Structure 1
Amino acid sequence: METSLTGVCSLPQTAMTPKTAGPPDGGWGWVVAASAFAVNGLSYGVLRSLGLALPDLAEHFDRSAQDTAWVSALALAVQQAASPVGSALSTRWGARPVVMVGGALTSLGFIFSAFAQSLLHLYLGLGLLAGSGWALAFAPTLGTLSRYFSRRRVLAVGLALTGNGASSLLLAPALQLLLDTFGWRGALLLLGAVTFHLTPCGALLRPLALPGDPSTPPRGPLAAFGLGLFKRRAFSVFALGTALIGGGYFIPYVHLAPHALDRGLGGYGAALVVAVAAVGDAGARLVCGWLADQGWVPLPRLLAVFGALTGLGLLAVGLVPAVGRDSWGGPLLAAAGAYGLSAGSYAPLVFGVLPGLVGIGGVVQATGLVMMLMSLGGLLGPPLSGFLRDETGDFTASFLVCSSFILSGSFIYMGLPRALPSCRPASPPPTPPPERGELLPVPKVVLPPGGPHSTMDTTC
């Protein structure tokens, strides 16, 4: 008889991606984590190091710190505000092509900016074009990673988010060298080549279908962008707190290096301050990811605690006194390291808490919405910081005001539920061993309507 168990179970499947019993918690998921690591480094890592070029841009175009701060602020704001677009497109077309297109757009933005004749060209190139590319790349990648993990989800997210710190550690001194050697135009041109690597990173995002996924793509803007998630009280509380924290969280991305220069350090001393913050940031993301997955402390409480510590770290950075140019800047290095540790601990918790708030089926859309919420602060925070610097002569007031935003958002997080429902798939009960002399039951074979050679799916 032609219909054996092996033959029936190995019949060709349909073109649809087969659904798994739950997140595999490994396997290809670690490749996705490596891709997300690179995407994070080529987006936020580049943005954080880009602050080193702002003084050169201000001098070349003879503009104020507030005006040049809009270059990084627009790139950050567009990247986050347009993230729901990336999430919506990935729910329709899949994350792989969306991220690959985003990598090409980011690279084109840097290449265009290398030939800028005014700040407006930089606003369009780095702010609009590169920011849009980052929006298409980051949220779909991180949302895809969350779908691949359950028990080790926060650890995997933390591992991916260390790309930010690792990239900053390498790019900060490298970018300063490029600025000294080739000028800001040559540096931006080379960054265009570097950021093009986002495209092969997107090619590694293999689709994964899970139980609970909708059978058809969402229709209409409300469903496509996931705006219905705001009807949930817990997500609304989370959204408000995250928007406030975004007002201060990204200030060091733009103004940590200029702040170090104002405090009397040289160019490489400022790069060292950025690098120290990056090392603390990267290490804390892994440690906090492992800690959160142990379940010893509820995720919402960890989120509030590390959010508050981030605000206090930013406060310490702003209060560090000025030093001489020959000083190695010990107090500022210590404050930057403390800020990096706390900010790095906060980052994986923001995305790790989402599956418990919205469910695994809505995590991609929720990731895009979180990025959009943080963009509200990311758009206003750096220009406000630059304005305060122009008015007061240094960044002390900037860091103090922006740290208050982070502390306020952390306080709002206290309104989240103490515990969130688990998204881990339930383990099936183990099959009892057969009694002595008893045979195991034979699996039931369900043949397709067209016979054993039909190309339709079968159930074993």
Structure 2
Amino acid sequence: MAAVEIGKVSAWLVCLASSVAYFMSTGLIKSLGVLLPILRQQFDTQTWIIGLTISLVPGFGGVATFIIGAEAILAGELAKYFDQHYGLANCIARSGISLGIVVMPFLTQFLNDVYGWRGALLLLGALNFHSVISGILLKSTSHHVPDDKTAFPLSLETEKKTAHQQLSRTIAYYLDLELLLNPIALKRIVYNLGSAYAFVGWMIYLVPNAIDIGISPYRAASLSAIGGIGNLLGNATFPLLKKKLSNEHILYLTTLVVCLSLVGNPLLSLLHSYTGLVVASFTFGFARGPATLASYQIAKENIEEDKINGVCTWMLVAYSIGSVTSGFLSGWIYDETGSYTVSFLTLGLVALLSVVPQPFVNNAQNQKKSQYSQLSPEE
């Protein structure tokens, strides 16, 4: 009984750690987005260079994943610790994203006003350095540990296969390359790429867009905070939506709302409607919360348990690619056109395309086995 209680406590501590990690990582991106106009002016450079630099913050996550298993700290580890309450745990963990979007824009603007952009970056760096220390205290679950340890031969020499074939099999096994052939996993990966493009583009360029049309820095920062509040409320409504709709329908409907809010942003900016931008930001945040939760829920319910970490890894890689692409392309479009109109239209279009080509998949909760047999180095 004591062991069970300790296990439950550990699970919720992992959930809390995930929430803090989300707060730090998302808040940093939003902070740098607030500073983008100032950095562009200080360094007398193009928008896309600053935007690309900021997007490398989430972009490096994809690189680090294969080295240190970064996904284990986030959705992958949560899936290992939670079964019945996975949706609730993921909702609580991702509330860190909402709080990061709410708190950090105002804090960053305040620090910039008091200490300048250099002092602001110094303090933000010190704040985020706590993530390094806290990360040392976490120990992730092991990845791909088979019951029969002889399934991982150390020698590359086999009677039937060349050393090159054996090495290829080993790499494919450890990187879960077979997941790229799994339709359900591939849909989640594609969605994450489009979702990251829209979300990171919104985080980086929302405040610069508002400032560009004459809105004061603090009012511009408030647009981000309102989006964060919407995201927090959207996460809270996910359990209610689950009672009425399937995960797939939630994903499609909320992504459509995300698309409409992004597409409407240029018109509202043209009209200089602060109230309209407030509504658009709240709507974006509110809709994106359930969309993301539904996507991870689909992966949890349709991918076998020992492959969850692998799916989350590839989803994070796709997220990193979408983030870096958005940071560069959205800024480059602004440099070429002189406004964020086409940039936000592109954000909305990519968000919609991430789900439109995907047919609905069954909520195969009772079919945990993958359609493809697990590859091993010896097969």
User: Which band: TM-score by shorter chain?
Assistant: 0.7 to 0.9
Task: Please tell me whether residue 173 in structure 1 is matched to residue 155 in structure 2.
Answer: no
Over 3 Å counting, the alpha-carbon distance change for 1:203 and 1:85 in structure 2 is closer
Cα distance in 2 between the residues matched to 1:199 and 1:245: 27
Residue in 1 that maps onto 2:377: none
Task: Please tell me whether residue 306 in structure 1 is matched to residue 254 in structure 2.
Answer: yes
Deviation, structure 1 residue 206 = 5.5
Query: Which structure is higher in helix share?
Result: 2
Question: What aligned pairs does 1:79-94 form with structure 2 within 5 A after superposition?
Answer: 79-87=61-69
| Secondary structure in 2 matching 1:277 | helix
TM-score (norm 2): 0.83
Q: Deviations over 1:227-282 (max 9, x none)?
A: 22112122223323332333323211110110111122111011111111111112
| Secondary structure in 1 matching 2:269 | coil
On the 8 A contact 2:14/2:73 being kept in 1, the answer is: no
Q: How many residues align?
A: 349
On the 8 A contact 1:298/1:418 being kept in 2, the answer is: no
| Secondary structure in 1 matching 2:317 | helix
Question: What aligned pairs does 1:362-373 form with structure 2 within 5 A after superposition?
Answer: 362-373=307-318
Cα distance in 2 between the residues matched to 1:145 and 1:153: 7
Over 3 Å counting, the alpha-carbon distance change for 1:29 and 1:407 in structure 2 is same
Over 3 Å counting, the alpha-carbon distance change for 1:244 and 1:389 in structure 2 is same
Q: Deviations over 1:377-414 (max 9, x none)?
A: 2121222111221222211111011211111112133x
Q: Deviations over 1:9-55 (max 9, x none)?
A: 99xxxxxxx9x8xxx7x432221111111000011222122201111
Over 3 Å counting, the alpha-carbon distance change for 1:394 and 1:295 in structure 2 is same
Question: What aligned pairs does 1:55-454 form with structure 2 within 5 A after superposition?
Answer: 55-87=37-69, 136=70, 139-203=72-136, 205=138, 214-215=146-147, 216=149, 220-288=170-238, 290-291=239-240, 294=242, 296-322=244-270, 329-413=274-358, 415-422=359-366
| Secondary structure in 1 matching 2:123 | helix
Deviation, structure 1 residue 81 = 4.5
CA RMSD of aligned residues (A): 2.9
Over 3 Å counting, the alpha-carbon distance change for 1:48 and 1:206 in structure 2 is same
| Secondary structure in 2 matching 1:196 | helix
On the 8 A contact 1:165/1:279 being kept in 2, the answer is: yes
Task: Please tell me whether residue 41 in structure 1 is matched to residue 15 in structure 2.
Answer: no
Deviation, structure 1 residue 421 = 2.0
Over 3 Å counting, the alpha-carbon distance change for 1:217 and 1:385 in structure 2 is farther
Task: Write the letter of the residue equivalent to 1:315.
Answer: V
Deviation, structure 1 residue 332 = 0.9
Over 3 Å counting, the alpha-carbon distance change for 1:69 and 1:364 in structure 2 is same
TM-score (norm 1): 0.69
Cα distance in 2 between the residues matched to 1:165 and 1:217: 45
- The answer for unaligned runs of 5 or more in structure 2 is 153-169, 369-379
Cα distance in 2 between the residues matched to 1:409 and 1:263: 30
Q: Which has the larger radius of gyration?
A: 1
